[in-house]
């Protein structure tokens, strides 16, 4: 039996967004993005909207329509979270919409721990 694959240990270098990659869109398979998307489908809040996972230079930004209308009265896309890879640590940021800045909330070597924080969000830090 082969040992389990530790997806947190896999590092896929970023050469720009898929749209600007020399290989063209869809050529790079990114495990982290798929893990984030899969986790977001299991979140507790606002399950009826489809958040987007956007590639950033050093991580991933999650945006979603503003269902509560607390931040955007028109229900437009708002920033939810930013997951930044600073090997070997992942950093999780929440958007402080009132100040217009990102605030670091947690750090972990395991992406799954940070995804749990985003998806459960009992204090409505990420899903205002």
Return the percentage of the chain with pLDDT > 90, whole number. Answer: 53
pLDDT in tens, 87-127: 999 999 999 988 999 999 999 999 999 999 999 999 999 98
> How far is residue 6's CA from residue 94's CA, in Å, rounded to a whole number?
26
pLDDT in tens, 17-73: 433 333 344 433 488 999 999 999 999 887 888 999 999 988 999 999 887 667 766
- Mean pLDDT, the chain, whole residue set: 79
How many residues can be counted in the chain? 128
Q: Say whether the peptide bond before residue 88 is cis (omega within 30 degrees of 0).
A: yes
Return the percentage of the chain with pLDDT > 70, whole number. Answer: 73
């Amino acid at each position: 039996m082969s040992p389990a694959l530790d997806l947190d240990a896999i590092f896929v270098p970023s050469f720009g967004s898929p749209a600007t990659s020399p290989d063209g869109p869809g050529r790079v398979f990114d495990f982290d993005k798929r893990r984030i998307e899969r986790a977001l489908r299991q979140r507790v809040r606002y399950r009826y909207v489809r958040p987007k996972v956007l590639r950033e230079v050093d991580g991933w930004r999650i945006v979603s329509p503003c269902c509560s209308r607390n931040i955007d009265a028109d229900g437009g896309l708002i920033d939810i979270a930013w997951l930044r890879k600073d090997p070997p640590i992942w950093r999780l940021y929440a958007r402080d919409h009132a100040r217009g800045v990102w605030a670091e909330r947690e750090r972990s070597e395991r992406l799954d721990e940070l995804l749990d924080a985003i998806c459960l969000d009992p204090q409505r830090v990420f899903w205002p």
